[in-house]
Structure 1
Amino acid sequence: MENELKPNSDALGRPLRVLLADDDDLVRNLIPETLSAFQDIEVVSTAKNGHEVLELVNKYTVDVVLMDVDMPTVDGIEATTWLAREHPEIKVLVFTSFGRRPSVMEAIKAGAVGFITKDTPITEIVQDLRRVSRGESVLSQNPAEALMDIMRAQPLQTVYDETFIQSVNGLPKQLRKVYQLLIEGLSNKAIAKKLGLKENTVRDYVSQILARTNCESRSLLVVKSFENGSF
């Protein structure tokens, strides 16, 4: 495994501090051990439920919480809701297995910036953590298929959001192109390469799209798009 060192773009001057929350003992032991190979990632602690998350973020400086959604006592959705309210500076990246009760969409609505699956290779997890630290949202590989699987397994009540649909339909041609790639889960860098744009331009376009659609994150944009059939 290549343990490359890439400084965080926010110039923290220290490793990215991660809190892992999962009720699986194997996951809590394995993930910190494998992430320790990367010099710019530090797992400051682990939690086996959402209640411990709430305690540990007040004890440690945490940049990102890698959060399972299905945990005892206080689940990941409740913990994410609390973090969004009390510690909005801390990013939540859902870390889930689709073999369990899927609650990813609820977690995103609660404030999570994205999700990855537990079978994601460790090198990709590291890249995703870095992307989250730069303010990007992260979606698991093939997010369209993953979200459709979630909706089939746990149907959500779909509410026709006319304002959202009109805002998507009203996007200028260039923003619409970026929007389509956004809901496919592409990063700013990948979108820039595909459309022949500068990455800073894509970042500005993404901000415009989120503002026009009244979405706080790219992941929430994806959820709303699927709920309203705007994809």
Structure 2
Amino acid sequence: MIRILLADDHTILRDGIRALLSADADLDVVGEASNGAEVLSMLETMPVDVVLMDVQMPVLDGFATVPELRQRFPDTKVLVLTMLDHENYVTRMFEAGASGYVLKNAAISEITYAIRTVAAGNPFLCSEIGLNMLYKAVSQPLAPVHEVGEAHAGSDLTTRELEVLKLIAEGMTNGEISDKLFTSKRTIETHRQNIIAKTQAKNTAALIKLAVSRGLIS
């Protein structure tokens, strides 16, 4: 039996994952936490094999939680379950001590396979991220030369990220963008973080400059 602790600040998501995992007789969700501080506190008295953890959480996020967890509870594995798909986040979480990384849009069969893989002491990277990184590695063109401090061209931005970038450049807030695109504010915040990570833009002005260079705004 693999004992699992769910860590995500969205109750409805935890409920959904618990329900899906309950179909597997060898997977047992023994607890739930809404942030990293709760995870560390619960592990003091609760034996857990795998912590299924989001990156973005209040109080103590995944980046801060994982190194502390691995130091204090070395036998407990961490499997990241998140919406953040950029390689920077993947690299940072593995460097922090995570054993696996899977996206929230993955099939439940892949998530359960990932849980069993990391519980057995092996690393896991979900297929979508792995393929994206492979395609990028084999098809990445030579990067153009930029002026010091200039944002990258952003050619690896997704269609949705380019759309969000355009609306940011028009001066819209995350809330206004989420209303316009009929999605959650949290999703827009994730897109914005991905855009910043991919472009290395330091501020909104740099993002606007990028939007102009991409022809998104005049």
> Which of the five TM-score ranges fits, normalised by the shorter chain?
0.5 to 0.7
- Which of 90, 99, 119 is 1:113 aligned to? 99
Of 28, 52, 64, which residue of structure 1 is paired with 2:50? 64
Whole-angstrom CA distance in 1 between matches of 2:114 and 2:85: 22
Quote how far apart the aligned CAs of 1:104 are. 3.0
Match of 1:186 in 2: none
Contact 1:69 1:104 survives alignment (8 Å): no
Report the TM-score, using the length of structure 2 for normalisation. 0.59
Q: Normalising by structure 1, report the TM-score.
A: 0.56
1:141 to 127, 145, 162: 127
- Give me the whole-angstrom Cα distance separating, in 1, the residues matched to 2:112 and 2:14: 16
Q: Secondary structure at the match of 2:124?
A: coil
Structure 2 segments unaligned to the other structure (5+ residues): 137-155, 157-192, 201-218
Among 51, 58, 65, the alignment partner of 1:79 is 65
Q: Contact 2:100 / 2:114 at 8 angstroms: preserved in 1? A: no
Asked which structure has the greater CA Rg, the reply is 2
What residue number does 1:154 align with? Answer: 197
Q: Which segments of 5 or more consecutive residues in structure 1 lack a partner in the other structure? A: 1-14, 158-231
| 1:95 has 2:58 as partner | no
Per-residue Cα deviation, 1:76-134 (whole angstroms, up to 9, x for no partner): 1111010111111111011010379x733211111001200001111221111111111
Q: Tell me, in whole angstroms, the C-alpha distance in 2 between the residues paired with 1:144 and 1:153.
A: 22
Match of 1:130 among 116, 129, 136: 116
Shift in Å, 1:153: 5.3
1:19 counterpart letter in structure 2: L
Q: Give the alignment of 1:10-49 within 5 angstroms.
A: 15-49=1-35
> 2:34, 2:60 → 1: CA distance?
10
Identity of aligned residues (%): 39
Aligned residues: 143
Off by >3 Å, runs of 4+ in structure 1: 146-153
The secondary structure found in structure 1 opposite 2:30 is: strand
Letter in 1 for 2:197: Q
